[in-house]
Amino acid sequence: MLQSGFRCCGVVSGFDWARNNSLTTVVPWSCCRRLPNGTSEACEAAPTNADSYYSVGCLAAARHLLTAEGWLLGGIAIAITVILVVSSVAGCCFARTKRTQIYSKVWSR
C-alpha cells in the first residue's frame, strides 16, 4: 500500500528488491505503474524500463511529503497539544469544583 500510494519502489530505488532472495520477480506488483484506465502494467518479472515501474525510492518520496506537507503536520500536532492542555485544565477545574461541593455538604451538617 505504501509503494502504491506514494508511487515509489524500494527504500532507495527499485533495485532494492533485486537483493531480496525470497521474491521470485524483479520488482513486486506494487512497484508497477498504473495505466490511465486504472490497471497496472505487468512489470514484475521483466520491467522493460524505468517508465514501467516507479524507480524513485520510498525514502525520497517520504522526505518530499514531509517537506511539502510539514507545516500541516506541525499545525495538527500543535492543535492536538492545545486541545489536550485545555481539556486537562478543564478536568482539574471540574474536579476541584466537585471536591469543594462535597466538602461544603459534609461541613454544613
Q: What confidence tens digit (pLDDT) does each residue in 64-89 have?
A: 888 888 888 889 999 999 999 999 99
Q: Is residue 20 part of a domain?
A: yes
Query: Could you tell me the residue range of the domain that residue 53 belongs to?
Result: 2-79
d(CA 9, CA 38): 18
Q: Is residue 33 part of a domain?
A: yes
- Three-state SS at 10: coil
Q: Is residue 87 part of a domain?
A: no
Q: How far is CA 57 from the centre of its chain?
A: 16
Give the chain's domain count.
1
Give the phi and the psi of residue 32 in degrees, each rounded to 5: -75, 140
Q: Is residue 100 part of a domain?
A: no
- Report field, pTM of the whole predicted structure over 0.75: no
Say yes or no to pLDDT of 13 above 70.
yes
Q: Is residue 42 part of a domain?
A: yes
d(CA 49, CA 92): 62
Q: Is residue 73 part of a domain?
A: yes
Q: Is residue 45 part of a domain?
A: yes
Specify whether the CB–CB gap between 54 and 16 falls below 8 A. no
Q: Is residue 36 part of a domain?
A: yes
